[in-house]
Amino acid sequence: MLGKAKTLGEFIIENQSAFKYTSGELSRLINSIRLAAKVVNHDVNKAGLVDIIGAHGDKNIQGEDQQKLDVYANDIFIQTLKNRNIVCGIASEEEDDFISINSQDENNQNKYVVLIDPLDGSSNIDVNVSVGTIFSIYRRVTPVGTPVTIEDFLQKGEAQVAAGYVIYGTSTMIVYTTGHGVNGFTLNPAIGTFYLSHPDMQFSEDGQIYSVNEGNYVHFPQGIKNYIKYCQMEEGNRPYTSRYIGSLVSDFHRNMIKGGIYIYPQTAKDPNGKLRLLYECNPMAFIAEQANGKASDGFNRIMDIEPTELHQRVPFICGSKNMVEKAEEFMRQQ
C-alpha cells in the first residue's frame, strides 16, 4: 500500500550525499525538526479536547500544569533542538531574546542557528483552523566553539541555508528547502512517517487568488488599495478569487499549490505591518523563491533586507511572480 513512496528520512539521506551540503549536521537538524513536529502535531490534534481535559493554567490528571499550545510548541522545539545538541543557538518568536546553547563548552562545534515561529496563527486553534510552524536555518557568522551573539541571528534572508514550515491541516505536512527547490512531505499518522507527496513544488507565474485581510482596507497604503481594486476588476482572467484564512502557513501553502498572492501590508496603525522578518517573512520568502515565486516588502526583495532587531516587522507581499510584480508596480505609482 505504501508502494514506492519515499520517506522524508530516505530523502534527507539521499540529498545529503547528492548535494554534499553538510557533514550530516544539517540532516540531523532537519530530522530533529521532523521529530518535534510529530510531537506538536499530536497535541494540536487534541486541541478540541482542551475544554474537557483542561485548559491553560489547569492541572492535568497527573498534577502537571497544562500549557497553551503555542507555549507548549515553543518548549517542544527548543527542548528537542537543545537535547540533541545540534545547534549553537535558537531564536523564537515566543522568546524575548535568543538562546545560546552550550555557550561554555569549547567542544561545541555546532555551526547552525535556528529561528522559529513555533505555532503561527495560534489564534485559529480555538476554531479548528490549520496552524503551522515556520523555521529558518543559518550558518553562524561568529567562530565555532564560542557563545553565539546577536550577529549570528541578524543575517539577511539571502544567507539562509534552509527554511521550511509544518502545516497542521487536514493532513500534516512538512515543506522545506535547502536551496535546491521545494519538497513537501505528508504525514501518515497511522505509522508516524512523512512521505514525499509534493516533489518540486512551484508557484505558477500567474495566479487567480489574492489573500489579504480586507477588513483593514481603509488603513492600507494607496498602492495596495489600488492593487486590490485591480484584483476585483472584470478584465482578462480577473476578477480574482479572494481567500484569506488568517494563518500565514495555510494561506501561503494554498497559494503555492493553486497560484496566488498573500499580502500583509503596513497600515496606519502598524507602519511596518504585522509579520516578523526573521521568523515569518524570510523563511517564506526563501521557499517562495525556490518555488519560482517572489517575496517583497512592496519595494525591496525581502531576502535583501538587513535585519536590525530580532522581532523586526516588515510589510509582506509574497506569491506568484507576476502578481507580486504587479502589486509592486501599484506601490511605486501610489
Q: Which residues would be at the binding site for Mg ion (CB under 5 A)?
A: 117, 120
3: left (phi over 0), alpha (psi -120 to 50) or beta: left
225 is in an annotated binding site: no
**Residue 274 Cβ vs ligand AHM, minimum distance, rounded to whole Å:** 6
Residue 48 grid coordinates: 478540541
Asked if 22 touches ligand AHM (CB under 6 A), the answer is: no
Q: CB nearer to ligand AHM: give 140 or 274.
A: 274
Under 8 Å between Cβ of 280 and 94: no
Strands 260-264 and 209-211 come out as parallel
Question: What is the full DSSP assignment across 299-329?
Answer: SSBGGG----STT-B--EEEEEHHHHHHHHH
Question: What is the full DSSP assignment across 127-167?
Answer: GT--EEEEEEEEE-SSPTTS---HHHHS--GGG-SEEEEEE
**Residue 316 Cβ vs ligand AHM, minimum distance, rounded to whole Å:** 9
Looking at this protein, which amino acid is placed at residue 118? Answer: P
Asked if 213 touches ligand AHM (CB under 6 A), the answer is: yes
Helix (H, G, I), strand (E, B) or coil at 294: strand
C-alpha–C-alpha distance, residues 163 and 282, integer Å:
8
Asked if 312 touches ligand AHM (CB under 6 A), the answer is: no
274 is in an annotated binding site: yes
122 is in an annotated binding site: yes
**Residue 110 Cβ vs ligand AHM, minimum distance, rounded to whole Å:** 27
Binding part of the chain for ligand AHM, among 21-29, 194-202, 244-252, 297-305 by CB under 6 A, reads 244-252
Asked if 121 touches ligand AHM (CB under 6 A), the answer is: yes
The DSSP call for residue 247 is -
Question: What is the full DSSP assignment across 199-244?
Answer: -S----SS-SEEE--GGGGGGS-HHHHHHHHHHHS-BTTBSPEE--
Helix (H, G, I), strand (E, B) or coil at 4: coil
Under 8 Å between Cβ of 317 and 324: yes
Q: CB nearer to ligand AHM: give 208 or 247.
A: 247
Helix (H, G, I), strand (E, B) or coil at 196: strand
Among 248, 284, 302, 327, binds ligand AHM (CB under 6 A): 248
320 is in an annotated binding site: no
Q: CB nearer to Mg ion: give 117 or 289.
A: 117
Asked if 272 touches ligand AHM (CB under 6 A), the answer is: no
**Residue 78 Cβ vs ligand AHM, minimum distance, rounded to whole Å:** 17
Asked if 164 touches ligand AHM (CB under 6 A), the answer is: no
**Residue 95 Cβ vs Mg ion, minimum distance, rounded to whole Å:** 13
247 binds, among ligand AHM, Mg ion, none (CB under 5 to 8 A by kind): ligand AHM
The residue number with the shortest CB distance to Mg ion is 120
Under 8 Å between Cβ of 239 and 233: yes
Q: CB nearer to ligand AHM: give 8 or 323.
A: 323
What is the number of H-type helices and E-type strands within the chain? 9, 13
**Residue 5 Cβ vs Mg ion, minimum distance, rounded to whole Å:** 31
Asked if 274 touches ligand AHM (CB under 6 A), the answer is: yes
Residue 212's Cβ-side half-sphere holds a number of Cα atoms within 13 Å equal to 32
Q: CB nearer to ligand AHM: give 23 or 123.
A: 123
Among 22, 130, 208, 247, binds ligand AHM (CB under 6 A): 247
Residue numbers at the binding site for ligand AHM (CB under 6 A): 117, 120-122, 213, 246-248, 251, 274
Which residues fall in the annotated binding site for Mg(2+)? 93, 117, 119-120, 280
Which residues fall in the annotated binding site? 93, 117, 119-123, 213, 244, 274, 280
